[in-house]
Amino acid sequence: MDLIQNLALGFGVVFQFVDLKIGFLGISIPFPMNIFLCFVGAMVGTLIGVLPGIGPLATIAMLLPITFGLPPVGALIMLAGIYYGAQYGGSTTSILINIPGESSSVVTALDGHQMAKQGRAGPALAIAAIGSFIAGCFSTVLVAALGAPLTSLALLFGPAEYFSLMVLGLVFAVVLARGSILKAIAMILFGLLLSTVGSDIETGQSRMAFDIPELADGIGFVTVAMGVFGYAEIMRNLEQTESRDIVQSKVTGLMPTWPDFKVAAPAIGRGTILGSILGILPGGGAVIAAFAAYTFEKKMSKTPERFGHGAIEGVAAPESANNAAAQTSFIPLLTLGIPPNAVMALMVGAMTIHGIVPGPQVMTKQPDLFWGLIASMWVGNLMLVVINLPLVGLWVRLLRVPYRMLFPAILIFCAIGVYSINNAPADAIMVATFGLVGYWFVKHDFEPAPMLLGFVLGPLMEENLRRAMLIARGDPTTFVTRPISGGLLFLAALLLVLAVMPMIRSKRDEVFVEGEA
């Protein structure tokens, strides 16, 4: 079995020991570096998930510079840990104090907090953790199984197909995002435009750099992400006055009862499958998966009136779904090289900085990285279950840290981190500028996530577009006449038309403010 062999390789990478030199003692000791990084990532992720007002996007952007010194496998393992760790942490605060630390656990709060109020916080936390773990196991296997076939498919693609695939991915991201479609497309274009700043790929001519040396290399990916997510988030959070009244319900009796299990098990199964599918789709991800799973579970239930009053399915389904989606969204990234959502766009940035071009060749050329990352997800999920449940009390106590102490820490981390990449003070100035731009966008109901996708895919899209046009000797119909490319573009157009239909019919643009379903 190839799959088992590959997974064995992956686990080998995860449990690898490296010699850690301790400088002042002059000795070196064997140290399980990757396990340690996986642990650090999962813990930091949980911490971030617990604290409201700082999401996984901002955290990964903030910690990117720190991972530059690590080997690529370790860096990616840690960053992935932050992402799925955040899905866990968010559920804890949702259930205990009705404050979703993450947008993906907003729905968990509905029933989870009701359970806590009824004195069943323990079972709610346990079922969230168990559901997440089962979903994590399933999606790890799914990533491993789908990796090889999708990769071989991707190898058939030429530049025209790649370009069309990216168009389809971006269209998916637009259609599945909340808010106005026009605005989302506009944000993608803004990202694409930003990505063209700097030297031209083919001629090396400086574009829109105004002879500023720091711009000659293009705008840094970390700069944009930190500014638009980290800084803009702080600026907005500071406007809201804090109201964190911590009514801590005592957590007693962690284990769910047998009837709980019987109700929750099918919900976990459905949530896992739904989450896995939505995670693979571009534009999907943990948030939409959680919402969809909750709605689906409510529709399936024979007693929908129990939802919102402490139904255990209402915790099990979205929690499994968001964790499954968090992991399966690695599939398009690792096989096709196309990030399906903004967090994966950050992963692309991390990979590029380590000199890895995301895409089908990762699996063949760097199997240790590919399978190591997959195996680490399973290990990380196990760690989260084992470590998190006993630590619930500690996480809740962390919530007492006031925001006025939190934001300076985030700020200085971002500032030093971005400065340390190139030792360029101009980078820190640009982060602040992008923070202001992001603040403007949020104030005008523009989602910044599509912009980051556009920014990451920009250079790739331009390169493939130019190459395809050159191969077709300047004939733009090549994108439609090549069967695979044409099919992908047709699908993209169809999706857009379907999504825009209600706009034609209704006179209000508020139709798109869905997602709360």
Partner 1 sequence: MSEAGGAGVARHDAGGLPHHHRVASIFFVLALAGPVLGVIFGKPPEFYARLASGAYSLPLAVLGIAALILPLRSPKDFMGGALLVGMGLFALWACSDLPGMRGFAFGPGTAPRMFAYAMIFLGVAVSAVGLFTDGPPEEPFAFSGPLGGGLLVAVLIPITYYSNRIGHIVSGVSPDIMVAAVGAIVVLGLAFPLMRVAPRGPLFITAATLIFAVTVRPLGLVFASFVSLVVSAYATEEIRWVETLIWAAVLTLFCSLLFPWGLNLPLQLWPRF
Query: Which residues contact partner 1 (rule: CB under 8 A)?
Result: 66, 69, 180, 182-183, 185-186, 189-190, 192-193, 196, 200, 202-203, 205, 207-208, 210, 231, 234-239, 403-405, 407-409, 411-416, 419-420, 423, 425-426, 428-429, 431-433, 435-437, 439-441, 443-446, 462, 465-466, 469-470, 473-475, 507-510
The CA R_g of the chain, rounded to the nearest whole Å, is 23
φ and ψ of 283, to 5 deg: 85, -15
CB of 180 to partner 1, least distance (A): 7
Q: Which is nearer to partner 1, 299 or 508 (CB)?
A: 508
* Helix and strand counts by DSSP (H, E) for the chain: 22, 4
Task: Give min distance, CB of 131 to partner 1, in A.
Answer: 36
Distance CA 448, CA 229 (A): 8
**Cα–Cα distance, 189 to 62 (Å, whole number):** 25
Distance CA 91, CA 112 (A): 8
Dist CA 515 CA 517 (whole Å): 5
228 Cβ contact partners less than 8 Å away, ≥ 6 residues apart: 434, 435, 437, 438, 441, 448, 451, 452
Q: What angle do CA 239, 289, 135 make, to 5 degrees?
A: 120
Closest contact distance (angstroms) between CB of 111 and partner 1 is: 30
Q: Minimal distance in Å, beta carbon 50 to partner 1?
A: 20
Q: How far is the CB of 441 from partner 1 (least distance, A)?
A: 8
CB closer to partner 1 out of 261 and 419:
419
Shortest Å, Cβ 421 to partner 1 = 9
Which residue number, 364 or 433, has a Cβ lying nearer to partner 1?
433
Q: 428 is written with which tokens?
A: 């820190």
Residue number, 473 or 505, with CB nearest to partner 1: 473
**C-beta of 303 vs 423, nearer to partner 1:** 423
Cβ-based nearer residue to partner 1, 1 or 405: 405
Q: What is the DSSP letter of 220?
A: -
Question: In which residue are the tokens 């709060």 written?
Answer: 109
Helices marked H in 98-120? 106-117
Whole-number minimum distance, CB 315 to partner 1, in Å?
Answer: 33
Residue (61 or 134) nearer to partner 1, CB: 61
Q: Is 78 helix (H, G, I), strand (E, B) or coil?
A: helix
The pair of structure tokens assigned to 201 is 């790929």
